[in-house]
Chains A and B, each alone.
Chain A
């Protein structure tokens, strides 16, 4: 669609602004904190703007923004500016309270949203590593290669991690749907 091609032109104002919501969602997932997420996204645009002359004509702009955001986050963690949210191992982190969108207006949760809610809860129970790769692939629809660049790992690793993440997610969802109805997340 013609209106999605905006970011490539460096003369253009609003450079990459079409990825703002996606980047904010990713930042929320990484930080689990809306204040930190806002700062992270803001810093991402500041850096991107400075570095945009380095973009090649064929660069994937969306992936590039995600990469910048993640690198800033990793640096913050290394410098001890924040808790090490990224390094937890495959374990359940207790609910989806901080999953982006969880605090949605309850009016948005209408018929047909119940399943989405279940899936969101299950994603919230994945390890950070699995949650991240699911977000990048399923929500942001980045290719394996693009994800590999963001995560700074081989594309083969993306493939296997994604496979394990999906398998885990299936297991969690199977558990959810075998629970009695009253145990499920209430959705009105």
Chain B
């Protein structure tokens, strides 16, 4: 006969999803009529939840992410250019300010160039298109595909747009307190090409997200916030809040109401609140930084560097 010490071990294994077959069956049937083990199970479960809830919000430095991604896109060149580890330690204190200075120089040069101005103009028309679509949807224009399943919506768009469509993982996590729900999407035109417009619903609001290839538009202008290796460009247009960004070959423009306020504010621009609202995982992070799907070709990673 199994004694209670054994059951204690089994309970922990059960919570860790390591208890299989007959042992699992035995425990489950024992739990039905043993109040002591039920209590122990509940206690162990809540301890596990408590520990997991303490997971620190660790974010790798954006520079590290960029370095790794650029190494992946060109392993041979990068591998030889790494300075030896020991040496790098000694130069590190000087390296950071230098890198920051280099970044500022790049930005200043960019501001003065014609291509930057062109880019900004294109970004503006991209944002304008997104705003127009957002308002159109508010007037009751129907969705082409209606589903709260990212898989369904992504599959639908994958057959209709010419770029490798990716959908951010919105509202799919059970612990997503922001309550975004995917409503569906519409096929729209931008720059003469099909683009994807996604609609997300919140209790008192809705969000539109226009997605296109970054060959047609690139994010520019506005107030720039760097987060997780991406540059977010944000601004307010009348009653609307706009955030636009590039990620791995795609350009996104996200439109929501300025009036949303409080904890429902654009998480791109209110990251502290967004982080505080997240518990075990970071739904917002996954929302704003969609992972690429496998079919993306290797050269597209180049769009990621800036």
Binding site for B on A (CB under 8 A): 1-6, 8-9, 11-15, 17-18, 20-25, 28, 34-35, 38-39, 41-43, 45-46, 49-50, 81, 99-102, 104-105, 107-110, 113, 115-120, 123, 134, 137-139, 143-144, 159, 162-163, 166, 169-170
Instruction: Please tell me if the beta carbons of A99 and B72 are within 8 angstroms of each other in the complex.
Output: no
Q: How far is the CB of B57 from chain A (nearest CB, A)?
A: 6
Contacts of B56 in A (CB 8 A): 25, 99-102, 104, 120
B residues near A3, Cβ cutoff 8 Å: 150, 166, 169, 286, 290-291, 293
Question: In the bound complex, do residue A13 and residue B301 qualify as a contact, i.e. CB atoms below 8 Å apart?
Answer: yes
Instruction: Decide if A28 touches B58 in the complex (CB within 8 Å).
Output: yes
Beyond the given A11-B298, A24-B64, A116-B53, could you list 16 further A-B residue pairs with CB under 8 A, ordered by the A residue number? A1-B172, A4-B291, A6-B292, A8-B294, A13-B69, A13-B292, A13-B298, A14-B292, A39-B88, A43-B85, A46-B75, A99-B56, A101-B58, A116-B54, A120-B56, A139-B55
In the complex the two chains form, what is the Cα distance from A138 to B9 in whole Å? Answer: 17
The binding surface of chain A is classed by DSSP as helix
Q: Across the A-B interface, give the 9 residue pairs with the lowest CB-CB distance, nearest first.
A: A101-B56, A119-B54, A25-B58, A24-B60, A107-B272, A9-B294, A116-B54, A13-B301, A100-B58
- Which B residues fall within an 8 A CB radius of A? 9, 12-13, 16-18, 47-48, 50-61, 64-65, 67-69, 71-73, 75, 79, 82, 85-86, 88-89, 92, 150-151, 154, 166, 169, 172, 248, 272-273, 275-276, 286, 290-294, 296-298, 300-301
B294 and A6 contacting across the interface, CB-CB below 8 Å: yes
Contact at B57–A104, with CB atoms within 8 Å?
yes
Interface of B is mostly: helix
Task: Tell me the complex Cα distance, A92–B50, Å.
Answer: 21
Is A169 touching B79 in the complex (CB atoms < 8 A)?
no
29 contacts between A and B (CB under 8 A): A1-B169, A2-B151, A4-B291, A8-B294, A13-B73, A13-B296, A13-B301, A14-B69, A14-B72, A14-B296, A20-B68, A21-B59, A22-B58, A35-B92, A42-B64, A42-B68, A81-B85, A101-B57, A108-B57, A113-B276, A115-B50, A115-B53, A116-B53, A116-B54, A119-B53, A120-B56, A137-B16, A138-B55, A163-B9
- Rounded to whole Å, the gap between the CB of A115 and the closest CB of chain B is 7
Structural contact, B294 and A5, CB atoms closer than 8 A = yes
C-alpha spacing A134/B51, complex, angstroms = 9
Within the assembled complex, what's the spacing in Å between the Cα atoms of A26 and B53?
A: 17
Task: Name the distance in Å between A174's Cβ and chain B's nearest Cβ.
Answer: 11
Q: What is the minimal beta-carbon distance from B65 to any residue of chain A, in angstroms? A: 6
B93's closest neighbor in chain A, by CB? A35
Question: CA A126 – CA B155 in complex, angstroms?
Answer: 47
| Beta-carbon contact of B53 and A108 below 8 Å | no
Q: Chain B residues near A109 (CB, 8 Å)? A: 276
Complex Cα distance, B46 from A115, in Å, reads 13
> Quick check: A6 and B291 within 8 Å, CB to CB?
yes
Q: With A and B bound together, what is the CA distance between A12 and B298 in angstroms?
A: 6
B23 to chain A, nearest CB (A): 13
Instruction: Say yes or no: A163 contacts B67, CB within 8 Å.
Output: no
Compute how far the CA of A35 lies from the CA of B87 in the bound complex, rounded to whole angstroms.
12
